[in-house]
Amino acid sequence: MPEHVSSVKSYVGIFLALLVLTGITVWVAELDLGPANDVVALVIAVTKGTLVVLFFMHVKYSTRLTKLTVIGAFLWLILLIGITLSDYASRGASDRVRGAPPEQPMQPIAGEIGDPGVR
């Protein structure tokens, strides 16, 4: 199977797209979008990463086994962060379901969620 050789033009196109997306992410960060700031920043970062993986790392022209391996990496990453967060998000939930008296909340550290000083 002959190897795919990308044109210089396509590499420069990807390069320019990455620079433009970097500019957009810096600009958007200055706007106050509430929680959407993080969503927009991550969507842009994932888009940039996908461009690099597909074109600079030639995964678009790789075999299906290589593509599966690449997808596997990101599935495991989602599991790692997702399952960890499901633990942190659901602490004390079983007590609430059983109707047990709520645990005495710990005194929040300054700056922590629950601290009256935090909006």
Partner 1 sequence: MSSSASAAPASPSEIAASLAKAGVHDHHPALQHHFDTLAQQKESATLGMWMFLVTEVLFFGGLFATYVIYRLRFPGVFAEASHKLNVIAGGFNTAVLICSSLTMALAIRSAQVDRRKAIVFWLILTVFLGSTFLGVKAYEYHHKYVEHLWPFTGDFDRGEFTPGHGRAAQIFFSLYFVMTGIHALHMVIGIGLLIWLMFPSWRGRFDSTYHNPLEMTGLYWHFVDIVWIFLFPLLYLLGAHAR
- Residues at the contact surface with partner 1, assessed by CB under 8 A: 1, 3, 5-6, 8, 11-12, 14-15, 18-19, 22, 25-26, 29-33, 37-38, 41-42, 44-45, 48-49, 52-53, 55-58, 62-63, 65-66, 69-70, 72-74, 76-77, 80-81, 84-85, 88, 109-113, 117-119
Closest separation in Å from C-beta 20 to partner 1:
10
| CB-based contact 28:41 (threshold 8 Å) | yes
57 or 100: CB nearest partner 1: 57
Q: What is the three-class DSSP state of 6?
A: coil
Return d(Cα 67, Cα 12) in angstroms, integer: 24
C-beta of 101 vs 111, nearer to partner 1? 111
The answer to whether 22 and 9 have CB atoms below 8 angstroms apart is: no
**Shortest gap between Cβ of 93 and partner 1 (angstroms)?**
16
Residue 55's CB: how many other CB atoms inside 10 A? 19
The least distance separating partner 1 from the CB of residue 99, rounded to whole angstroms, comes to 27
CB of 100 to partner 1, least distance (A): 24
Judged on CB neighbours under 10 Å (0-12, 13-18, 19+), 40 is: middle
